Amino acid sequence: MKFLDEYRDPAAVARLRDAIRAAVTRPWVLMEVCGGQTHSVVRHGLDELFPPEVSLVHGPGCPVCVTPLELIDRALAIAARPGVIFCSFGDMLRVPGSRNDLFAVKAAGADVRVVYSPLDCLKIAEQNPGRTVVFFAVGFETTAPANAMAVKQAKARGLTNFAVLVSHVLVPPAMEAILSSRANRVQGFLAAGHVCTVMGTAEYEPLAGRFRVPVVVTGFEPVDLLEGVLRCVQMLEAGRWGVENAYARAVQPVGNAHARSVVEEVFEVTDRKWRGIGTIPHSGYKLREAFAEFDAEARFAVGDIAAEESKLCLSGLVLQGLKKPHECPAFGKECTPQTPLGATMVSSEGACAAYFHAGRFRVL
């Protein structure tokens, strides 16, 4: 398949592997930001191709994983309300709240549905005028345009029985928080290609300049990721920093102007709490005042629901690149996909799930 097979070509992978080994002369710690990239690295065993000087750690680029525990609990409380049809992407259903998850609420009789697009929820709302349809709007900048468009169309159609529970987070502030931490050991980033497809690359330039780090925008296939690592290592070895685009087939410097426009119309930037990490200033979206009527959190008055993280779960350290999943004492023991302590073990982009399903670090 064009634009897929050639990015999994073993000969190209071998050439890039050899180039990385030839380029590196000292230890470097790189972080791939996106959970999809993490799964590709682990599934294809790319981390086993690097020389010992190159260490790849995993970042907070899994939106499901960083959705705070109390927001999961708020979703569960809304979903259990009579007269509510609660809609979500499928990977949110297994994410544990304080006591249970959306699957358990559904099993208890709540109307919880998996959708493939937030626009599907508008059809459901039109078909069920006597019930309130709530969509769990989770994601990074990648999913924000479709979620914003759903809200915009709901307003245009006068769908008063539609609302969104917003949990949008932004990548650059999370990278800044990692680089600002005293415990940080990341020296270069592989930025998420799909986020940059929407937002472009310009917002990474000040970050790279301020912290003097290379940021290389990459895709998700083996050749993409190895090309990103090679460029990052070459920049580090030369003492250079800045932003390079290794995913030019999809990413333009200005991103997608139409997508950005609808996001800016519907959402505004706000502080957001990240699961296992804490509050990061200016790191998320909330609905603008003009669309406040669609705010499910306010409509159902669940904003005061709070929760405490499991003390056994080290997902926050994993998401900051300070621990690898198998370094958590609960990994594969108290925490498995069947009995998850945190979202990183059940999300399709979670680092812990990637390690567990790969089987290389599983405790037997």
pLDDT in tens, 235-280: 999 999 999 999 999 999 999 999 999 999 999 999 999 887 889 9
Q: pLDDT tens digits for 29-71?
A: 999 988 889 888 988 999 899 999 999 999 888 888 888 889 9
Task: Give yes or no for residue 214 having a pLDDT over 70.
Answer: yes
**Sheet of strand 54-61, all strands in order from the earlier edge strand to the far edge:** 54-61, 28-34, 188-192, 214-218, 242-245
Structure tokens at 144: 């924000």
CA–CA distance, 38 with 36 (Å, rounded to integer) = 5
Give whole-number Cα distances, 208 to 63, 99, 173, 309, in Å.
23, 41, 12, 32
pLDDT band for 360, please (50, 70, 90 cuts): low
Domain membership of residue 335 (yes or no) is: no
Which two three-digit tokens encode residue 29?
Answer: 């710690």
Supply the pLDDT for residue 61: 81
d(Cα 98, Cα 176) in Å, to the nearest integer?
A: 29
Strand order in the sheet with 84-88: 111-114, 84-88, 132-139, 162-169, 278-287, 267-274
What tens digit of pLDDT does each residue of 61-108 get?
888 888 888 999 999 999 999 999 999 998 888 888 888 899 999 999
**By mean pLDDT, which of 8-12, 148-152, 259-263, 293-297 is the weakest?**
8-12
Give the bridge partners for 139, in sequence order.
168
Task: Flag whether 208 is in a domain.
Answer: no
pLDDT tens column, 301-314: 998 888 777 778 88
The reply to whether 320 falls in a domain is no
Mean pLDDT across the chain, nearest whole number? Answer: 91
What is the pLDDT at residue 256? 96
DSSP secondary structure string for all residues of 32-55: EEEHHHHHHHHHTTGGGTS-TTEE
The domain in which residue 261 lies consists of 69-170+255-299
Residues with Cβ within 8 Å of 364's Cβ and at least 6 positions away in sequence, in order, are none
**Nearest-angstrom CA–CA distance, 130 and 122:** 14
Burial of 186 (0-12, 13-18, 19+ CB in 10 A): buried
Buried b (16+ CB within 10 A) or exposed e, 272-308: bbbbbbeebeebbbbbeeebeebbbbebbebeebeee
Of residues 216 and 95, more confidently modeled: 216
Name the pLDDT band for 359 (thresholds 50, 70, 90): confident
Which domain CATH number covers 157?
3.40.50.11740
Establish if 81 belongs to a structural domain: yes
In a domain, 317, yes or no: no
Q: Does 223 fall in a domain?
A: no
What count of residues does the chain have? 364
CB contact burial 126-135 (16+ within 10 A = b; e otherwise): eeeeeebbbb
- Give the SS3 label for residue 104: helix
Q: How far apart are CA 274 and CA 296, in angstroms?
A: 19
Nearest to 343 by CA among 141, 63, 102, 76: 63
Residues 171-196: tens digit of each pLDDT:
999 999 999 999 999 999 999 999 99
Is the residue at 106 inside a domain? yes
| Residue 122 contacts residue 156 (beta carbons within 8 Å) | no
Tell me how far apart the alpha carbons of residues 86 and 108 are, in angstroms, rounded to a whole number. 14
In degrees and rounded to multiples of 5, residue 216 shows phi and psi of -115, 120
Give residue 364's pLDDT.
46
Q: Is residue 277 part of a domain?
A: yes
The total domain count for the chain is 1
pLDDT for position 1: 52
* pLDDT confidence of residue 3: 64
Local confidence band at 2 (pLDDT 50, 70, 90 cut-offs): low
* % of the chain with per-residue pLDDT over 90: 68
Residue 82's SS3 state is: coil
